[in-house]
Amino acid sequence: MTDDNCIFCKIAGGVIPSTTLYEDEDFRVILDLGPASRGHALILPKQHFADVCALDGDIAAKVLPLGAKIGSAMKKSLGCAGFNLVQNNGEAAGQTVFHFHMHVIPRYEGGPAMVSWTPGKASPEELAEVADKIKGCL
Ligand code: 5GP
Ligand code: ZN
């Protein structure tokens, strides 16, 4: 199912042109228009799912292998030393387009820091309390 008001549905379906790296019956992989690094790509399912919580199980099972395939090709072709697979869910997490997508971000030796955070501190009691809360909703 697609959403007529969704730009990624239009891109994934080929209605809006994009720089496409890969396409099959379930996915289109495109270059990001605002790349975090050279080669930054987006894996778009052709069906509309708002985020990972809405994602179909069969499609979900194919996303990580596809991320590995694209990332491996980036290492061979672009000479990046590694890559990040990043997937944002919800505005608070940085999601700006509400059609599930996974970023594949090539990382180069000596490149800028990104996808990182400053480790905080938590007591064993706090960890246990947080764990109990989450486990209560699984
Ligand atoms: P999010 O912040 O939702 O995880 O990521 C959305 C990404 O989509 C951003 O990196 C942004 O640069 C990219 N983007 C937004 N609109 C377009 C577009 O029309 N074409 C392409 N290729 N990328 C887009
Ligand atoms: Zn969509």
Which pLDDT score, from 0 to 100, does residue 29 have? 98
The pLDDT tens digits for 31-58 are 999 999 999 999 999 999 999 999 999 9
Q: Which atom of ligand 1 is nearest to the CA of 101?
A: 4
Query: How many folded domains does the chain comprise?
Result: 1
pLDDT band at 115 (very low <50, low <70, confident <90, very high): confident
**Residue-range definition of the domain harbouring residue 11:** 5-134
CATH number, domain with residue 52: 3.30.428.10
Query: Which residues touch 135 (CB under 8 Å, ≥6 apart)?
Result: none
Q: Give the closest ligand to the alpha carbon of residue 18.
A: 1
- Cα torsion 9, 106, 89, 138 to 10°: value is 120
State the distance from the centre of ligand 2 to the C-alpha of 13, rounded, in angstroms: 9
pTM: 0.97
Measured CA distances, 35 to 46, 57, 58, 129 (Å): 21, 28, 28, 39
